[in-house]
Homo-oligomer: A and B are copies of this chain.
């Protein structure tokens, strides 16, 4: 049932768990947090489903909050890696497009966790509003910077914000209803691309002026297929 792959996974900063109880706790937690919400899920429920006592959970995690944050770290770690990658690249249209694609794939891959996080934003915001609570906002601002450049105007930044958050919103909104995820991926990506193309540092005209035939019509409808 909860058998790991035959080759042991590369050891991260977490101590390697042999019995896998820690991972089983995470799996049950992400399921219940998504179904019922973080605060409505009690540690007793998690413990009962695993056949242990409440107190046993405290051997593996410092607190209930710590379980949630172990999940958060996994997800935002991917986003942070993407942002770091983007910051190391030159600011070209190709890189900006690649950021959209990679960000969408992170959202798609972490669909379950992302949905859970999105529903439980309040639980992420601790009383000490120093680091937490602004998790989404911080990342979004970094992504906006990558998509526009530092000195962009407000309308340009709004376009980038709607493009990036539109990827996740669009995916989450239609994912449960669609029977063709591939088509949805293309549609969502198409909208985001449309909002970001022509963004970035003010470029000189690339094509010699003169033959601007049918420039609007081709962009208006989603021609991703």
Which of B37, B140, B169, B224 lies in contact with A125, CB distance below 8 A? B37
* Majority-rule SS of A interface residues: helix
Residue pair A137, B36 in contact (C-beta under 8 Å): no
Residue pair B165, A169 in contact (C-beta under 8 Å): yes
A221 at interface, CB cutoff 8 A: yes
Q: A184 — which chain B residues lie within 8 A by C-beta?
A: 154, 158
Residue pair B154, A221 in contact (C-beta under 8 Å): no
One complex includes copies of this chain to the number of 2
- Would A157 and B174 be within 8 Å (CB), given that A119-B121, A166-B165, A215-B215 are in contact? yes
What residues make up the interface of A, taking CB atoms closer than 8 Å to B?
36-40, 118-123, 125, 127, 137, 140, 153-159, 161-162, 165-166, 169-170, 173-174, 178, 183-184, 186-188, 190-192, 194-195, 197-198, 212, 214-216, 219-222, 224
Residue pair B187, A224 in contact (C-beta under 8 Å): no
CA–CA, A212 and B169, complex, Å: 34
CA–CA, A122 and B116, complex, Å: 9
Q: A191 — which chain B residues lie within 8 A by C-beta?
A: 155, 158-159, 162, 195
Excluding A154-B178, A216-B216, 17 further A-B contacts by CB distance (< 8 Å) are A36-B127, A119-B125, A120-B121, A155-B186, A155-B221, A158-B184, A158-B222, A161-B166, A161-B170, A162-B162, A162-B169, A165-B166, A165-B169, A197-B220, A212-B214, A215-B216, A216-B219
